[in-house]
Amino acid sequence: MKISLKDNRGVPVSTTNLKSLERLEQACDLMNGYFNDPFALIDEALAEDPGFVMGHCFRAAFMATATDKTFLPEVRKSVEAAEALAGKANDRERGHIAGARAWLESDYDRVAEHYQRVLIGHPRDLMALQLAHLRDFLTGQAMMLRDRPARTLHAWDESVPGYNYVLGMQAFGLEESGDYARAEERGRQAVALQPRDSWAVHAVAHVLEMQNRTAEGIDWINKGSDYWSGDNGFAYHNWWHLSLFHLDRGNTAEVLALYDRLIRNTASTMPMELIDAAALLWRLHLMGVGVGQRWKEVADKYEATVEDGHYAFNDFHAMMAFAADGRTAASERLLATLARRAGATDWNGVATRTVGLPLCQAIDAFAKGRYAQAVEILLQVRPVAYRFGGSHAQRDILSLTLIEAALRGGQGRVAQAIAGERTELKPLSGVNRLLAQRAAGLAKAA
Ligand SMILES: [Fe+2]
């Protein structure tokens, strides 16, 4: 007979060790708020009960969400440990074991399939929901970011621990789907319930970014930061959002100060952190702002892993670092690697072929002054770029690069069209005003 306890939300867990279950609960809470260090707690849980299948599943899957190839040996170890325990696992846990295996293989379609099944049976499985939400983010599935949390809400209310996290996830999905009013409402509700919910804070920041409410955005990030910024593995990204608000207001000195103090103040090689660093420096690069030696540090980190990539969104940001830092050899190595990888039939192969590789070619062309080529690729790929993941705010870099390439390449009409498109979305944006003026001047002169 299988013996199981239930977690705080009534979800069955195959262990008789209360301490292990308690550690898992705490780790889950840290994971959902991106606080450090859930893995230390899971290690304690596994030391208590080495046969704790959900401990192994947690370790494998959450580690895999970092999209860092160097973690894969550890992910594999945990997947294999979980698989060896499948015989004593319940149905829900077997879904997690299969989900962890799919994470290891970067098979994001199967990741979604397995957690979906788990969540239909156990809508209060917060760990499955978070992992599936991260999958939806990594694969650019805006509607699933919105709908997956929504499907579970029938089983939740304020009395269930972690309710705020479900609201925060839904808020982000609503924002990515363009429903800004409901996104803001849900996000603010989540933060009111739990001010430490950094993802819900982030969801509201996205709404403010998309609506160009820069003064409110600056206030929103700053005023709650004491709650979520300490010892938090996601704080850098909320600070990145703060820097975008400042950037639109033309406060580039503040952006650089934020970069140094809060965004790139560690020696971290975590892909998600490097992405934000490269994306921010590239925005400054497009605006003609000198960033000193800052590219060097980011480009060095990317060079060390250029052939290891297994997530096209990361590769694209590596290319920006190489291009801006004048690293022709590294750019060529990356393009050759991507050309090989583009032949694969897995998720990353498809994302590389259809989005990652052409966008890297566009960045390479931009860096070499082949602006017409950059414009042509960006015009073609930008509408389908969601396929390689990231948020609208992150992929906005494609519009900015396209406009700048058109301006530098003398294509005033293209610049005018895309700057106009961006102005319709953000009529009060300072950046848009400048770009639209330059575009109109160029189009007129043509
Ligand atoms: Fe974001």
pLDDT digits (tens, 9 = 90+) for 274-322: 999 999 999 999 999 999 999 999 999 999 988 777 899 999 999 999 9
Q: Tell me the per-residue pLDDT of 170-228, one tens digit each, with 9 for 90 and over.
A: 999 999 999 999 999 999 999 999 999 999 999 999 999 999 999 999 999 999 999 99
- Cα 2 to averaged position of ligand 1 atoms, centre (Å): 42
Q: How far is the CA of 35 from the centre of ligand 1 (A)?
A: 17
What spacing in Å lies between the alpha carbon of 433 and ligand 1's midpoint?
23
Domains of the chain plus CATH, in order, are: 1-137 (1.25.40)
Task: Give the residue with greater pLDDT, 4 vs 167.
Answer: 167
Q: Which band of pLDDT confidence, cut at 50, 70 and 90, is reported for residue 267?
A: confident
Instruction: Round to whole Å and give the CA distance between 204 and 58.
Output: 28
Say if residues 101 and 83 touch (Cβ distance below 8 Å).
Answer: yes
Instruction: With H, G, I as helix, E, B as strand and everything else as coil, classify residue 141.
Output: coil
At 13, which helix (H) or strand (E)?
strand 12-13
- pTM (whole model) above 0.85: yes
162/193 Cα distance (integer angstroms): 10
pLDDT tens digits along 120-157: 999 999 999 999 999 999 999 999 999 999 999 999 99
Distance 174 CA to ligand 1 centre (A): 13
Give the Cα separation of 295 and 313 in Å (integer): 18
Q: How far, in Å, is the centroid of ligand 1 from the Cα of 339?
A: 29
DSSP state, 232?
Answer: B
Task: Please tell me the distance between residue 204's alpha carbon and the centre of ligand 1 in angstroms.
Answer: 10
Give residue 199 CA to ligand 1 midpoint distance, Å: 9
Separation of 375 CA from ligand 1 center, angstroms? Answer: 26
Instruction: Calculate how far, in angstroms, residue 234's C-alpha sits from the geometric centre of ligand 1.
Output: 10
Query: What distance in angstroms lies between residue 237's CA and the mean position of ligand 1's atoms?
Result: 6
Structure-token pair, residue 32: 């959902």
Distance from residue 278's CA to the centre of ligand 1 (Å): 14
Which of left, alpha, beta for 250 (phi over 0: left; psi -120 to 50: alpha)? left
> What's the 206 CA to ligand 1 centre distance in angstroms?
6
The answer to whether the Cα torsion of 135, 138, 139, 143 is positive or negative is: positive
State pLDDT tens for residues 280-293: 999 999 999 999 99
How many angstroms separate the Cα of 124 from the Cα of each of 90, 94, 163? 16, 16, 9
How far is the C-alpha of 153 from the C-alpha of 426, rounded, in Å?
32
